[in-house]
Amino acid sequence: MTTILVTGATGTLGSQVADRLRSRGADVRGLSRRSPSYAVDLRDGKGLDAAVEGVDVIVHCASTVRGGDDRAAGFLIEAARRAGVPHLVYISIVGVDRVPLGYYKLKHRVERMVEDSGTGWTIQRTTQFHDLVLRLVTGAAKLPVLPVPAGVSLQPVDSGEVADRLADLALQGPAGRVPDMGGPEVRELAELAGAYLRATGRKRRIVPVRLAGQAYAGFRRGGQLSPRHAVGTTTFDQFLAGRLQRPV
Ligand SMILES: NC(=O)c1ccc[n+]([C@@H]2O[C@H](COP(=O)([O-])OP(=O)(O)OC[C@H]3O[C@@H](n4cnc5c(N)ncnc54)[C@H](OP(=O)(O)O)[C@@H]3O)[C@@H](O)[C@H]2O)c1
């Protein structure tokens, strides 16, 4: 039986990856700070050796926008090397090398750490998940008007479809950097916000706002998009129709 450690197993993506791998017969260990079985803070690495012992594959989904992903990856890679784990799968984001956002720069650095880790590796970059877009517009819609960054488009993808892909990759051998995975449609954020308002029956004026800074300029140039890899099938509207049956 294949033993797989999924980091970030309490998160949006990691929980679905763990479910899929279990249903495909793998022995899955779920790690995160709040995990009931492998409660590890990757930023200090305590408890990691026990978590990686005897593991065939690590799927690294743990991450935080609050900083420290490179430090966390360093501890994980060291532990993987000590235990002789032959395959590390890393989930990254389309445009980490094109949009100069602090979080993206760190993820790009982690990609290079994985590539140089000396262990077998696979890196999958995807576009933003529908869940993230929903969270962003839900937050913005709490205001009397709904502000969105002007001129920015996204190509959101279903996190369940990404989980399917990661499970496939985990069960194959190391594949290096695999083709990007994008959602089925490129749409302006203002349009995505409109879809959210229609689906929820809320009424707000959508206000495009121009922002300063290099990261915003990178998003406006479309560095986060991958139209040639529009392989996801679930649209944002379809995702909303399913998701809004449950409380947001
Ligand atoms: N969201 C998107 O649109 C998107 C798009 C492309 C790629 N990705 C990538 O996909 C991955 C997963 O994203 P997600 O949206 O599923 O994230 P998420 O829902 O925020 O989950 C993050 C997970 O990481 C764990 N975690 C955070 N800090 C940790 C630490 N110091 N030690 C151990 N575990 C830690 C969290 O659990 P605890 O709080 O219990 O520790 C949680 O399980 C990330 O690498 C992200 O960059 C996301």
Ligand 1: atom nearest CA of 9 is 43
Ligand 1: atom nearest CA of 66 is 28
- The finding on whether 156 has its CB within 6 A of some atom of ligand 1 is no
- Distance, CA of 94 to CA of 225 (rounded, Å): 7
* CB-based contact 127:155 (threshold 8 Å): yes
pLDDT at 247: 56
User: DSSP secondary-structure letter at 88?
Assistant: E
- Using a pLDDT cut of 90, give the percent of the chain over it: 97
- The finding on whether 10 has its CB within 6 A of some atom of ligand 1 is yes
User: DSSP secondary-structure letter at 33?
Assistant: T
pLDDT at 141: 96
pLDDT at 244: 83
C-alpha 66 – ligand 1 centre gap (Å): 11
Two tokens, residue 27:
């022995």
* CB-based contact 54:3 (threshold 8 Å): yes
Q: Which residue has the tokens 């039986």?
A: 1
- The finding on whether 93 has its CB within 6 A of some atom of ligand 1 is yes
Residue 147: beta bridge partners? 207
Query: How are beta strands 153-154 and 187-188 bridged, if at all?
Result: antiparallel
Single out the residue of 60, 57, 48 nearest to residue 27, CA to CA: 57
C-alpha 189 – ligand 1 centre gap (Å): 23
Pocket test for ligand 1, best of 5, 7, 13 (most atoms within 8 A of CB): 13
- Give nearest CA residue, ligand 1 atom 18: 11
C-alpha 151 – ligand 1 centre gap (Å): 27
Task: Indicate the average pLDDT of the chain.
Answer: 97
- The finding on whether 72 has its CB within 6 A of some atom of ligand 1 is yes
pLDDT at 245: 77
Single out the residue of 72, 31, 23, 36 nearest to residue 52, CA to CA: 31
Residue ranges, the chain, pLDDT below 70:
246-248
| SS3 category, 243 | helix
pLDDT in tens, 80-94: 999 999 999 999 999
